[in-house]
Copies of this chain bind each other. A is one copy, B any other.
Amino acid sequence: MPYFDHNATTPLLPVAREAWLRAVDEAWQNPSSPYREAARVRIRLDSARERFAQFLGCKPKLLVFNSGATEGANDVFRHWARATDPSLRVAISPTEHPCVLEAAKESMGARLAWLETTAAGVVKLDALDRLLGQETLAGVVTMAANNETGVLQPWSEIAQRCRARGVPFFCDATQWLGKLPASRLSEVDWVIGSAHKFGGPKGVGFLKLPAGAEGFHGLRGGEQEHAHRGGTENFPGISAMLAALAEAEEKKVFLEMQRLAWREAFERDLGARIPGVVVVAKTAERLWNTVSLLMPHTENHRWVARLEKSGFQVSTGSACATGKNGPSHVLAAMGLDAIEAKRTVRVSAGWETTEEDWRGLLDAFAKVAIELQPAATQVIQP
């Protein structure tokens, strides 16, 4: 069944599976143990860190392997709460993932200032410039790509501006990594990501520190991860995460334009076949894999169920927000009301998604649109 929910999670890539199995078979020892087989695990871990750092264009010792982006986000804000001047504010985009938003609220509280965004949810650079001119900020926070809409933030431009002012910039690259090239993320001070969003295993991710963040610590415990995070290193998970990122970087990310064309064709044709459907943030630069659709009628759960019956797995929005009542904060920040937000359907493709899958999804949407058409409208159908 074509899977269009890659922003929620991805299947494990064969290369990641192999790397994991090789590690649990050959390199399962504790890298801190004092015999040679353990030292070999340490060497393999160091080498994985070097290679992962190369993809991000950073120094290996700035990488902290952890359990995922949620841990990373919590740790960044806890560190900022300890290490920054409490009178300074932190400017944050309102469309961040819950792991960034909730962690920021917990550690920063009243110190948070909302960044101005366009109707598409894109941070306004001129407004940021004004803010940076008006006050000294303790930090700026924007994601690289939005999990619900695919909207790309001008994170490289934001990074330049922050660097010019000496303001730390934290960028959640969870949805960017594996879909678009990682190398320029070295421009960002603090970066987080999760392996399972790009074909790696669940429960493993990373935090990239800025140079000079030697005082940073996440979990207290042993002296692992250059004393930045306690806990026995999950080398099988790290090794599998690296294999997944390497495959994306070396074999996939340059196919972006072709995949973008498939998404654009889908959006264009869907508009022609379902009158009234709206592509959320249509005019914004967006990930090649993501479309957030505001359907012209019927709650999103019914669309999802019907599409599943037609053989396509799509989503109502962020899986991380599913447990919550009320509309998505991302869509609310973009000006959608609660009723509209409940009509949004998220489609997120993967590298294994074919042009035929997109066409099949289009046909399924068109069929379901007729099935779900409100009775009043159906009467006037030919």
Contact = CB atoms under 8 A, between A and B. Distances in A.
Interface string A16-31: 0100010010001110
Interface residues of A, number: 70
A327 to B, nearest CB: 15
Given A33-B315, A35-B313, A71-B67, A98 B320 contact: no
A202 B33 contact: no
Given A220-B102, A221-B73, A32 B68 contact: no
A204 interface: yes
A316 interface: yes
A183 B315 CA distance: 40
Nearest to A240: B24
A156 interface: no
A235 B233 CA distance: 19
Given A28-B9, A35-B304, A219-B71, A194 B232 contact: yes
B33 A8 contact: yes
A323 B9 CA distance: 35
Contacts of A227: 323
Interface string A218-237: 01111110010011111111
B67 A34 contact: no
Nearest to A196: B232
Interface string A103-135: 101100000000000000000000000000000
A71 B36 contact: no
Contacts of A37: 1, 313
Nearest to A223: B323
A253 to B, nearest CB: 22
A202 B234 contact: yes
A204 B227 CA distance: 20
A230 B70 contact: yes
Interface string A301-322: 1001100100001111011111
Interface string A26-62: 0011101111111000000000000000000000000
A9 B203 contact: no
A312 B147 CA distance: 50
Contact of A320 (B32, B68, B194): B32
A231 B99 contact: yes
A74 interface: yes
A144 interface: no
A194 B120 CA distance: 43
A251 interface: no
Contacts of A36: 308
A318 B230 CA distance: 13
Contacts of A32: 8, 319-320, 322-323
A5 interface: yes
A12 interface: yes
25 contacts: A8-B38, A9-B33, A9-B232, A11-B28, A17-B24, A33-B319, A33-B322, A34-B301, A67-B67, A67-B234, A70-B221, A73-B220, A98-B222, A99-B231, A102-B220, A103-B219, A196-B232, A201-B234, A201-B236, A202-B233, A202-B235, A202-B237, A203-B204, A203-B234, A232-B319
Given A202-B234, A203-B236, 7 more contacts: A5-B30, A11-B28, A12-B28, A69-B231, A70-B220, A203-B237, A224-B323
